[in-house]
Amino acid sequence: MALDETLSSVSVLSIQEALYVTRPTLATGTTVIVSTIQAFRVDATEGRKVYEPSGALMDHFSGVDPALLDTLDKYEDGKPVQSLANLLRLHRPIVIVDEAHNARTTLSFETLARFNPSCIIEFTATPDTENSPSNVLHSVSAAELKADNMIKLPIRLETRPNWKELVGDAITLRKNLEALAIAEKRATGEYIRPIILLQAQPKSQTHDTLTVEVVEQCLPI
């Protein structure tokens, strides 16, 4: 593992394990917490373990620098809430977001801001260039990925200006592959069922998108 080769001590925790992380663990090594953004992305934080006070995290909030204390969520008496979310904010983590194109909503940005991150690193094949443009630090071509054996299956990529025409051609191609698969089964007894994967877009309040309902209307019954 690259982290193990570079750093002397690395702890990889799930979100449940992080709820009980000790102060020495954070103080003596590098800690990686693996989670989904859904665990944190809520309008109201009540009822979510990551925002609730935990006695297991009490030790982290003793002797906190007053300057850092001002950045934390606090009770009415001024004491910091002993939550995992507050602990992350205290340490100003590096946040790495995979499939970052799925975390571009206002709520997603507000959620990431709650951690007071020192920086946010995004991994995505489709960086946003319009609404909230990503600052592209490094890009990798498909040829480079293939050369490093990161693409395991042959990929044929073709773009069309008319998405409905593309869906129709994909359905026709699947039918042709189905005929070949049936012939292969008759000859060898083996059958591979060809499938189509259509990725719809999430709903947007600001512009029209190709949602599941829109795409379904163009599919044959």
pLDDT tens string 153-188:
777 777 888 999 999 999 999 999 999 999 999 999
CB 82 within 8 A of CB 58: yes
* pLDDT beyond 70 at 6: yes
Report the distance separating Cα 125 and Cα 104, nearest Å: 14
Alpha helices in the chain (DSSP H): 2-6, 15-18, 23-28, 66-69, 84-91, 106-113, 142-147, 163-188, 212-216
Amino acid at 24: P
End-to-end CA distance of the chain: 49
Backbone angles phi, psi at 32, to 5 degrees: -110, 120
Q: Read off the pLDDT of residues 9-44 as tens digits, 9 standing for 90 and up.
A: 899 999 999 999 999 999 999 999 999 988 888 877
Q: Read off the pLDDT of residues 65-121 as tens digits, 9 standing for 90 and up.
A: 888 888 898 898 888 999 999 999 999 999 999 989 888 888 899 999 999 999 999
Q: Is the pTM of this model over 0.75?
A: no
- The DSSP call for residue 80 is B
Token readout for 25 is 């663990």
> DSSP per residue over 92-104, as a string?
-PEEEEETGGG--
* CB-neighbour burial class of residue 38 (10 A; exposed 0-12, middle 13-18, buried 19+): exposed
